[in-house]
Amino acid sequence: MPLTNRRNQYQSPFSERYASTEMCYIFSDQYKFSTWRKLWIALAEAQQELGLPSITSDQINEMRRFQDTINFDVAREYEKKLRHDVMSHIYAYGEQCPKARAIIHLGATSAYVQDNTDLIQMKAGLYIILAKLINTIKILSHQAMKYKTLATLSFTHFQPAQPTTLGKRICLWIQDYVLDVEELEMRISHLRFHGVKGTTGTQASFMSLFHNDTEKVKRLDELVTRKMGFESSYPVTGQTYPRKVDSQIMFCLAGIAESAHKFSNDMRLLQHLKEVEEPFEEEQIGSSAMAYKRNPMRCERIAALARYVLCNCLNPAFTAASQWFERTLDDSANKRISVPEAFLAIDGILNIVLNVASGFNVYSSAIHRHLVDEIPFMITENILMEAVNAGGDRQAVHESIRKHAMEAASRMKEEGNTNDLLVRILQDPLFSRIRPKIKEISDPIKLVGRAPQQTEEFITQVIDPLLHRHNHLIDKKLIPALYV
């Protein structure tokens, strides 16, 4: 019995759960084959403009009428017989456009519609990703300024270290995304069109069509490139545009995955510490068994999808490395999976990052409690210096602090006590002269160095100009995924 119900067939989690409607549309059949038809129309228009007598306005107008009305069933039946997707759609388009049937795809090879469409899809996808990155940076910059003076423990090796502020830590996340924006801007600005290059990139078929008029063939390439929204095309190609382009773009997307994975890992660790927590809905269930659980499932999902992108970027790299001469077809099946899914995955990742960044909860009492537990150890050198400056013997003061610190640490670990190191020091006659200063020394905000100023400088000097440059993308309507 045929499986006609879509619920009886595998559905991609990217389109079902993670990626936005807008990104799914860019890699949909409708978008793809409408773009093929736009390319055939642009080619015919340019050929007519350059004086090709066999192409008429009636033919082009007929092609335009059916540009977006794809007869998918007809194309599918043709492909069963022809075993060639481009020819199947040429025939299907020709059935709808009998006047234009003879001039559809004139002089072109399959890569003309396939490769140019791939580049158009990637360009559109990169702009969606850029918009989401810019909005992520904007949201996180507000959070950084909000918490620029909230002292918190730093961690090196996930061991408590000299305090920083939560705002400064958020700036570290933002900086990764800024580097991603810079890479993305470069990839978008360098992305070119495949253009009108013919079967092996020599434009021989178009030279024949225009009776060896080199200038007209060059102009044909330029006209179609501009009609399809690109400033320039790759100057030399084989049958396809350089597959290295896919690899470069996928590694750019992998860089975003790296940043998001790092952000999600930090958030998961902070949630374990009960200092910062990702959004948790009123009726959300953390565990089917453990009703009290508030698992960081959004950040775990970011990490899971990021891992996929980081591994997937090797597919286009191997494809670029293994192309033979002007082309081989072993890129096709791999490319039609690895490239769209990388875009869908990054789109899904950024949907969740936007959600987490705009709604995470900060528990300042827990943050302060962890500081109170660790700061007495961190300020022992400051206490030592103050005691010596007040006339104390450096070696005697050092030994006293060492003994108090060892005893306090032992009771914390073995008995579960709070850190009473400062109490011990305050009660020790050796430190009587500096008792009034110990409270000032132990103020967390006095221990964060220039973290608040660094945060302000980073936001005003780096982030504000970046956001101003991309002001048209800020607060742009970003269609969310179903599950964030």
Enumerate domains of the chain plus CATH numbers: 117-143+165-205+227-279+292-362+458-473 (1.20.200.10), 380-441 (1.10.40.30)
User: Pairing mode, if any, of strands 151-156 and 159-165?
Assistant: antiparallel
Active-site residue, 287 included: yes
Single out the catalytic residue among 54, 232, 287, 410: 287
Residue 434's alpha-carbon distances to 260, 421, 426, 441, in angstroms, are 47, 15, 9, 10
pLDDT for the residue numbered 476: 67
pLDDT for the residue numbered 478: 67
Give me the amino acid identity at 480: P
pLDDT for the residue numbered 466: 98
Q: Report residue 23 CA to chain centroid gap.
A: 13
> Rounded to whole angstroms, how far apart are CA atoms 93 and 34?
11
Give me the amino acid identity at 113: V
Query: Along the 484 residues of the chain, how does pLDDT read in single tens digits?
Result: 344 566 788 888 888 889 999 999 999 999 999 999 999 999 999 999 999 999 999 999 999 999 999 999 999 999 999 999 999 999 999 999 999 999 999 999 999 999 999 999 999 999 999 999 999 999 999 999 999 999 999 999 999 888 999 999 999 999 999 999 999 999 999 999 999 999 999 999 999 999 999 999 999 999 999 999 999 999 999 999 999 999 999 999 999 999 999 999 999 999 999 999 998 765 555 554 554 557 899 999 999 999 999 999 999 999 999 999 999 988 889 999 999 999 999 999 999 999 999 999 999 999 999 998 888 888 888 888 888 998 989 999 999 999 988 998 898 889 888 888 888 998 999 888 888 888 888 888 889 999 999 999 999 999 999 999 999 999 866 655 555 5
User: Pairing mode, if any, of strands 361-362 and 151-156?
Assistant: unpaired
What contacts 404, CB < 8 A, 6 or more positions away? Answer: 421, 424, 425, 428
Find where tokens 């090709």 sit: 52
pLDDT for the residue numbered 1: 39
> Rounded to whole angstroms, how far apart are CA atoms 300 and 305?
9
> Rounded to whole angstroms, how far apart are CA atoms 224 and 221?
6
